Amino acid sequence: METFTGKGVYGAVAIGKISIFKRREVSVKRNHVTDTEGEKARLAVAKELAVKQLQEIYEKALKEVGEENARIFETHMLMIEDEDYNDSIRNIIETQKVNAEYAVAVTSDHFAEMFRAMDDTYMRERAADVQDISNRIIQNLDSGQNKNGMGDHKVIICADDLAPSETVLLDKDKVLAFVTAYGSSNSHTAILARNMNIPAIISVGGEFLNAVHDGDEAIVDGFTGEIFLNPDSETVERMGKKQQEDEEKKKLLLKLKGKENITIDGTSIKIFANIGGVDNIGSVIVNDAGGIGLFRSEFLYLESSDFPTEDEQFAAYKKVLESMAGKKVIIRTLDIGADKQVGYFGLEKEENPALGYRAIRICLTRPEIFKTQLRALYRASAYGDLGIMFPMITSVSELETIFHICDEVKSGLRTDGIEYDENTELGIMIETPAAALISDRLAPMVDFFSVGTNDLTQYTLACDRQNSKIESFCDTHHEAILRLIEMSAENAHKNGAWIGICGELAADTALTETFLRMGIDELSVSPSFVLKVRDTVRSIDLR
């Protein structure tokens, strides 16, 4: 038996045989041509077919993983029509008098290299997308079809990496798990695997692919990121029990729907959900969350080619509030910058973007953007129980400026005769050590705190959360982080404010009792973790 370790991106156990993903390798040769117009005509036909194929993949993804996750294929269709991309291909055909396949391959390499050189994690991931669409065009030029080598039985798919289209096109009913040698947890393939509820492990390393063969027995532990190749009987028995226990837990959790989030001794806590867009509301309702503790409004900006208008934002916020039927909805104002870049904002490259021009700093220095969003939010407040939350707060003066702008916006709405809820709760993210340390001064100014543990951990421990090399130094249970959270909770309650946690630690059930003893009022987690956290809460006795 051999054991390999990668990074688990969906926690579950799979036991079965390995199938090495086989994609049709297209050998692109440089051929001299005299009819460049003919090559461009071939290219146009191949591109047209690629768009048709992507539309079919989009419709399949729509059914299997939902609209938000299917959008990547709409993006691929747009990338195929990108002016710079196509100009490069045509220019190579015309000036070098070469075949279309070669021109596409050279352009693909150039654009992928350009994306990989970018500082932003999201943009680096686009290199795989360029290669995906380019390979599709090349295969169409060659009249080839992509083969995945799957048989009639459920298998563990192993590959160097998987493009989003390859992931979606795999027959989900025949896939036990994904294991890839490379890739990242930010990749669309990892996101799709999570949303398809398929155990998945990435970044196992190239040596893994050299060790495996079609038909090898294997066990995938998506919780720990371990792959056991040709496991011994003891490991098979142990992992089989773990798989059975996990499946039984999932069934039992369904029985918790409609139950209270209350400990054995009677202490209650609210369990809300974090979402990134209107399309996620269904999962909030299905998983029985008590409300939305974090609606990431920046996704409205990330998915747009220009600044979303007041009416566009209002429509989205209104839909969320109406869909939640009176349950609390906390919408975080724009949190762009750092690892979330949008081209039309025109943000300059920074040496330390996580410490730079981002979130509330953009809003306060570009108030026209901020006021548009606040008008949309206050207009939507008339349609439900809205809370507005401001990110990256570090000082009292920032809050004073924010509230002055809010007053201006509300005054404008009154002048325009537009209804809004004057009692809309206002809160801030506690995600910098500065905010936690002066929480006694900030608490009297707001209705609530929400602790963003991802950034709070990053800033407290001086660990870049995007840097995989220092994960071992990033102790999310570090005493300093817990002290800052406890300090914030004490100061919130002393000053009549409530406090929640919306970062990753909210779903860490090893800390649930700790948070309850601190007096945390609300935990906001990914929708799929709501029932798991409820189960933990109901098993705790604080006496």
Active-site residues, by number, are 188, 502
Q: Are 389 and 428 in contact (CB under 8 A)?
A: yes
Tell me how crowded residue 107 is: count the other CB atoms within 10 A of its CB. 22
Helix (H, G, I), strand (E, B) or coil at 428: strand
Give the closest residue to 107 by CA, choosing from 43, 151, 187: 43
468-472: long-range pairs with CB below 8 Å, 24+ = 468/184, 468/203
Q: Of all helices (H) and strands (E), which one includes residue 200?
A: strand 200-202
CA distance linking residue 178 with residue 168, whole number of Å:
12
Q: Positive or negative CA dihedral for 490, 495, 496, 499? A: negative
What is the Cα 52 distance to its own chain's centre?
27
**Cβ-contact 420, 379 below 8 angstroms:** yes
Q: Which two tokens stand for residue 157?
A: 């798919």
For 288-350, where are the E strands, in sequence order? 292-296, 328-332
Q: Give the torsion sign (CA, 356, 361, 367, 373).
A: positive
Task: Choose among 282, 284, 297, 278: nearest CA to 429.
Answer: 297
Phi, psi of 35 (to 5 degrees): -95, 80
